[in-house]
Amino acid sequence: MNEIKTEHIIPPSDTIRLFTFLKESDSIFQPKLSERVNIKQYSEKLAERAELFYVLDGGKDIANCAVYMNRDDICFISSFAVAQNMQRNGIGTRLMRAVISEGIKRNKSSIELDVYACNQAGIRFYLSQGFQKKAEKEKWLRMSLDLK
């Protein structure tokens, strides 16, 4: 690993940058992102409305989180991914800590996300970050982290 850096970008942001990362990370998502959304349209929506957090290694994007912070009290993570070759190196924790820190700074009460119920590695990661299981709807599990 080279120089690791974290960036926080307020919308609007660079759609092409986000699209490129999400397209390269498609197979990391469970189920694949391309099986659920049109990645180009999704990137445009997130770049316009969500705050983006990136972790870079030597200037290359290796992790990304898109989070909506436009509600009064809740942050909602729409996507979270760490490049396959960078997983299990603390990058996901670094990324999540940046999101949590921003939520606390803005006096939000919680961070929520939906994770595919069969994504055991993702669920374990979120639990390790302090998230709790809240509800299950169809094949998705809602998880929440209390910030207060």
Three-class secondary structure assignment of the chain: CCCEEEEEECCCCCHHHHHHHHHHCHHHCCCCHHHCCCHHHHHHHHHHHCEEEEEEECCEEEEEEEEECCCCCEEEEEEEEECHHHCCCCHHHHHHHHHHHHHHHCCCCEEEEEEECCCHHHHHHHHHCCCEEEEEECCEEEEEEECC
pLDDT digits (tens, 9 = 90+) for 66-83: 999 988 899 999 999 999
Sign of the torsion formed by the C-alpha atoms of 135, 32, 101 and 91? positive
pTM of the model: 0.96
CA angle 120, 121, 127 (to 5 degrees): 85
Q: Taking a C-beta distance cutoff of 8 angstroms, is the pair 82, 4 a contact?
A: no
pLDDT digits (tens, 9 = 90+) for 18-68: 999 999 999 999 999 999 999 999 999 999 999 999 999 999 999 999 999
pLDDT digits (tens, 9 = 90+) for 129-144: 999 999 999 999 999 9
- Report whether pLDDT(1) > 80: no
